[in-house]
Amino acid sequence: MNLIIFGGFLGSGKTSLILSLAHFLVEKQSPNKQNLVIIENEVGETGIDDKVLKSKGLSVKELFSGCICCQLSSDLVITLNDLREKVDPEWVIIETTGLAYPSKILSTLNKYGKGIESIRIVSVVDAERFEELTEIAPVLIKSQISDGNTILVNKIDLVTDKQLKNIERSVKEVNPKATLYKVSANKDINDSIWKEVAKSNE
58-85 residue pLDDT tens = 666 655 444 444 444 577 888 888 888 8
Biggest distance spanned by C-alpha atoms of the chain: 50
Cα dihedral across residues 115, 145, 200, 33: positive or negative: positive
CB 4 within 8 A of CB 29: no
Give the separation between CA 120 and CA 200, rounded to whole angstroms.
7
Per residue in 21-69, pLDDT tens?
A: 988 888 776 565 568 888 887 544 444 455 555 655 566 665 544 444 4
Average pLDDT over residues 160-173: 98
Could you list the residue range(s) of the whole structural domain that residue 96 is in? 2-197
The predicted pLDDT at position 87 comes to 82
Which CATH number does the domain housing residue 181 bear?
3.40.50.300
> Does 56 map to a domain?
yes
117 belongs to a structural domain: yes
Q: Is position 84 within any domain?
A: yes
Residue 41 belongs to a domain: yes
User: Structurally, how many domains does the chain consist of?
Assistant: 1
For residue 74, give every residue at least 6 positions away whose Cβ sits within 8 Å of its Cβ, in sequence order, or none.
Answer: none
Q: Say if 75 falls within a structural domain.
A: yes
Does any domain span residue 153?
Answer: yes
- Phi, psi for 160 (deg, rounded to 5): -80, 165
Which of these, 15, 28, 5, 87, lies nearest to 56 by C-alpha position? Answer: 15
User: What pLDDT shows up at residue 161?
Assistant: 97
In a domain, 202, yes or no: no
